Amino acid sequence: MIMGVNMKANINNIDVNYEEYGNKKGKTLILLHGWGQNIEMMKPIGDNLQKDYHILIVDFPGFGQSEEPKEEYFVDDYCKIVESLVEKLNIKNPSLIGHSFGGRVSIVYASRNPVDKLMLFGSPCIRYKQKDGLKVKVLKTAKKAPGLNKLEGWAKKHIGSRDYKAASESMRKTFVNVINEDLSEYAKKITAPTLLVWGDNDLEEPVEHAKDLEKIMKDAALVVLPNSSHYAYLENLGQVLNIIREFI
């Protein structure tokens, strides 16, 4: 197995950390992590698919080993980072797989760039009136989800690399910006076949929201994984890997 090697690229005056590995002759899969997470949260997918696919995993600015933005960001700014990296690496027509916030960035990307396939794991899109503050939810699901108990220790090492309280003022503003954006109009423009993979016990982004998202997209289907949380893709890794292979 070829392991990914951390690399850096200066994009929009920010040092962005990424890993690129796998089968260079295979289709490119771009894996994008959730808020407060890092590359490691997507490596279980990349490492298991590297034999057949060209893998690119990115640490978003402000997370993992990527430099923090010098000013507040919006989802569009994160998307531009991915677009610039894709151009720099001369990647054509990739498939995107995004979890949570990474899915939000993927939605914007796929709305205006050539994409082969799109997969979204528990990704907020439509703006709803929030009943609970999101800044305290990063690890809440891991403690409650029956299937994630065995992964909780591992997840704690990779979730919350920069939590809200410890974040700089610009990252706090960025957090508020990204959770308040409604991406419905972007989602409506996507023409690439899209698969939504959701846990039926997702407390951060309920499956009802996934059903609403499916309705507004041109070519989308929803797969609901039983007894699973916001981290359904990790709780059901083997099944999800099979779904990816079939869909991509």
Write 128-135 long-range contacts (CB < 8 A, 24+).
128/209, 130/179, 134/179, 134/204, 135/163, 135/164, 135/175
Give the C-alpha separation, 22 to 44, whole Å.
13
Report if residue 111 sits inside a domain: yes
Asked, for residue 40, whether it belongs to a domain, the answer is: yes
| For helices 75-88 and 101-112, angle between their N-to-C axes, nearest 10 degrees | 60
Residue 242 lies in a domain: yes
Q: Assess if residue 1 is contained within a domain.
A: no
Is there a contact between 97 and 244 (Cβ–Cβ < 8 Å)?
yes
Which element (helix H / strand E) includes 184?
helix 184-189
Residue 153: count of CB within 10 angstroms of its CB:
9
Please give the average pLDDT of every successive group of 10 residues along the chain, which has 248 residues. Answer: 76 95 97 96 98 98 94 96 97 98 98 98 89 48 51 56 62 91 98 98 95 98 97 97 97
Domain region containing 174: 6-247
- DSSP helix/strand/coil, 199: strand
What's the domain count of the chain? 1
Identify the three-state secondary structure at position 9: strand
Residue 25 lies in a domain: yes
Q: What is the pLDDT of residue 138?
A: 46
Look at residue 41 and tell me if it is in a domain: yes
Q: What is the pLDDT at residue 158?
A: 57
In a domain, 36, yes or no: yes
Q: What is the pLDDT of residue 161?
A: 44
pTM recorded for the entire structure = 0.87
Any idea what the CATH number is for the domain that residue 181 is in? 3.40.50.1820
Report the pLDDT value the prediction gives residue 155, as an integer from 0 to 100. 60
